[in-house]
Amino acid sequence: MSQPSKIKVLTNGILNENPVLRLVLGTCPTLAVTTMASNGIGMGLAATFVLLCSNVVISALRNIIPNQVRIPCFITVIAGFVSVVQMVVKAFVPSLDSALGVYLPLIVVNCIILGRAEAFASKNGVVDSALDGIGMGIGFTCTLTIMGTIREILGSGTWMAGLDGLLPFLPDGFAIRVIPESIDPFTIMTSAPGGFFVFGIMMAAATWLTSRPKKGAAEPAEGGNAQ
């Protein structure tokens, strides 16, 4: 049995198996919190932390947890770490807590985390699981940030508004204005339909990026089925 290299495990989650765009997991927080890029970063980091910790713990316990009750055990481990994140965010980043609202406790039922616990951590070693958690987390965070960027720039004309809550050294009311205030922003982008729309476009873009033939690589043997 050939072991996949550590780098491969780490980078897998970023594009090829991007949890949101390729595996279509964790769509609810993706759509809900990406009205601003900074919320996307916050949500991504919170989920990454939970993903990393739960992957490590579940992979360490994988030989102890009986197979029949594994799902409740996984959920309990995940819920524990989510409560930790909830308390930390409430205490240190209150602005993020109010921006994410109910979606913060809902990380528990984020299918990325349970999905990776079931599909990867319960079958692989601790180190690989940690790398997988970090990779998937980075993929999730990047997707959320990009999506938040698109929606925020089009929908309110600013970029990274609210980042001062995450990084305390930034001045209050920090925001980079991309589109001048004299132009009316495209507010539909920050509300529900815009979320679905941007998500659809991004998923199409990811499909296009991963399915187009590589430059300089040999033509696919089947011949042009990727078109």
Partner 1 sequence: MIKQLAVIFFTMILVDNYVLSKFLGICPFLGVSKKLDSAVGMSLAVVFVMVMATAATWPIQTFLLDPNGMGYLQTIVFILIIAILVQLLENFLKKFIPALYRSLGVYLPLITTNCTILGVTILNIDNEYNFIESIVCAAGAGLGFLVAMVLFSGVRRRVEQARPPECFKGLPITLVAAAMTSLSFMGFGGIVDAIFG
- Give the CA distances from residue 42 to residues 49, 86, 141, in Å, rounded to whole numbers and listed in that order: 11, 12, 8
Q: What is the distance between the alpha carbons of residues 127 and 3, in angstroms, rounded to a whole number?
A: 13
Could you tell me the smallest distance in angstroms from the CB atom of residue 168 to partner 1?
A: 24
| Pick 10 or 35: Cβ nearer partner 1 | 35
Could you tell me the smallest distance in angstroms from the CB atom of residue 141 to partner 1?
A: 18
Helices 126-156 and 192-211: angle between axes, nearest 10 degrees: 130
Could you tell me the smallest distance in angstroms from the CB atom of residue 83 to partner 1?
A: 5
| Pick 111 or 126: Cβ nearer partner 1 | 111
Q: What is the distance between the alpha carbons of residues 227 and 190, in angstroms, rounded to a whole number?
A: 33
Residue 208, classified by CB atoms within 10 Å of its CB into exposed (0-12), middle (13-18) or buried (19+), is exposed
Q: What is the distance between the alpha carbons of residues 95 and 168, in angstroms, rounded to a whole number?
A: 11
| Pick 68 or 182: Cβ nearer partner 1 | 68
| Pick 31 or 36: Cβ nearer partner 1 | 31
Q: What is the distance between the alpha carbons of residues 127 and 58, in angstroms, rounded to a whole number?
A: 12
Could you tell me the smallest distance in angstroms from the CB atom of residue 108 to partner 1?
A: 5
Q: Applying CB under 8 A, which residues contact partner 1?
A: 24-25, 27-29, 31-32, 71-72, 75-76, 79-80, 82-83, 86-87, 101-102, 105-106, 108-111, 114, 188, 191-197, 199-201, 203-205, 207-208, 211, 227
**Are the beta carbons of 141 and 45 closer than 8 angstroms?**
yes
| Pick 1 or 102: Cβ nearer partner 1 | 102
Could you tell me the smallest distance in angstroms from the CB atom of residue 72 to partner 1?
A: 6
